[in-house]
């Protein structure tokens, strides 16, 4: 397990991953994070954008779909923290995906810890 921190924010246990860990690049990486989450009884995993490969943001690649499906199957929320504006500017489909994801409870794209705190406060 790489450096990470467990927090409780507004009653939700959060696993905050360090920016220098392995990339979230597919089902195997998702399962590794999910295993860490279950070991710490968390409900949400916050991954910095530095650990998200470009392929995740290219929806055609299927990486985002595979990763998100694992989180849905295990009933965990994934929050991607950081600036994704470059990726969103390049793809209308991604912009729509981000908007729709942020309306739900499984996948959030957030600018930082402050936005995560605000989202969990609701």
Output the domain CATH number for residue 95.
3.30.750
Which residue range(s) make up the domain with 21? 4-117
Is 75 a domain residue? yes
Is 28 a domain residue? yes
Which structure tokens are listed for 119? Answer: 């989202």
DSSP class of 51: G
Which structure tokens are listed for 38? Answer: 């279950």
Is 88 a domain residue? yes
Supply the pLDDT for residue 1.
46
Domains identified in the chain, total number: 1
**What is this structure's pTM?**
0.92
DSSP class of 62: S
Is 13 a domain residue? yes
Is 122 a domain residue? no
Residues paired with residue 6 on neighbouring β-strands, in sequence order: 15
Supply the pLDDT for residue 2.
55
Question: What is the block-wise mean pLDDT of the chain (122 residues), using blocks of 10 residues?
Answer: 79 94 96 92 96 97 97 97 97 97 96 91 84
* Cα 119 to Cα 8, 36, 77, 93, distances in angstroms: 13, 23, 12, 24
């Amino acid at each position: 397990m790489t450096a990470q921190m467990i927090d409780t924010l507004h009653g939700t246990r959060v696993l905050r991953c360090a920016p220098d860990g392995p990339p979230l690049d597919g089902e195997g990486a998702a399962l590794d994070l999910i295993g860490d989450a279950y070991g710490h009884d968390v409900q949400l995993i916050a991954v910095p954008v530095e650990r998200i490969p470009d392929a995740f943001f290219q929806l055609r690649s299927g990486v985002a779909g595979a990763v998100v499906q694992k989180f849905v199957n295990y009933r965990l929320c994934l929050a991607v923290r950081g600036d994704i504006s470059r990726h969103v500017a390049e793809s209308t489909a991604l912009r729509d995906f981000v908007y729709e994801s942020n309306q739900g409870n499984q996948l959030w794209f957030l600018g930082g810890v402050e936005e995560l705190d605000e989202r969990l406060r609701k």
